[in-house]
Structure 1
Amino acid sequence: MEKLNTELYLQNCYMIQENERLRKKAHQLNQENQALLSELKQKMSKGYPKSNANGERNHASTSSENSVNTNKP
């Protein structure tokens, strides 16, 4: 019984260490995410063209201008 308790104790210690490692990694990733989000918000506020869900820029105004220009000889 004592051997089983020792094994369970060691497994518990390992899980606690792994949990702490993952908690630190999650904190680091959250900080990176916040920094990237802040950078994106700054870029968007400076007037960068908006992107659709696929990351493509919206060229609605330029495409209508191009269609007018294509009719020229």
Structure 2
Amino acid sequence: MERLNSKLYLQNCYIIQENERLRKKAQLLNQENQALLSELKQKLSKTNSKASATNTIPDLNLSSSASTTSAANSTEP
């Protein structure tokens, strides 16, 4: 019985250590997530201020060929 208690105690200690490690990792990931969210909000804010200054909707397409094609199509009669 005492051997079983010792074994369970050691398992419990291991679980506590692993829990602490995972808690620290989750905390770091949360901090990174908050930093990325803040960066995204700043970029969106800059994009929105530029768009409102020129009264245009920003093109979210990353390829320049798509915006070139749409510009060429808009000049056709």
For the superposition of Structure 1 and Structure 2, which TM-score range results when normalised by the shorter chain? 0.7 to 0.9
How do 1:1-20 residues align onto structure 2 when only pairs under 5 Å count? 1-20=1-20
CA distance in 2, matches of 1:11, 1:68: 70
How do 1:53-72 residues align onto structure 2 when only pairs under 5 Å count? 56=61, 62=67, 64-69=70-75, 71=76
What do residues 45-65 of structure 1 show as CA deviations (whole Å, max 9, x unaligned)? Answer: 0017475xxxx55xxxx5653
Percent identical pairs in the alignment equals: 65
Three-state SS of the structure 1 residue aligned to 2:47 is coil
| Partner amino acid, structure 2, of 1:68 | S
Aligned to 1:24: 24
What do residues 7-41 of structure 1 show as CA deviations (whole Å, max 9, x unaligned)? Answer: 00000000000000000000000000000000000
CA distance in 1, matches of 2:12, 2:39: 40
Taking only aligned residues, the RMSD between alpha carbons, in angstroms, comes to 2.6
| Partner amino acid, structure 1, of 2:31 | Q
Higher helix share: 2
Q: Which runs of 4+ in 1 moved over 2 A?
A: 48-51, 62-66
State TM-score, norm by structure 1: 0.72
Runs of 5+ consecutive residues of structure 2 not aligned to the other structure: 49-57
State TM-score, norm by structure 2: 0.69
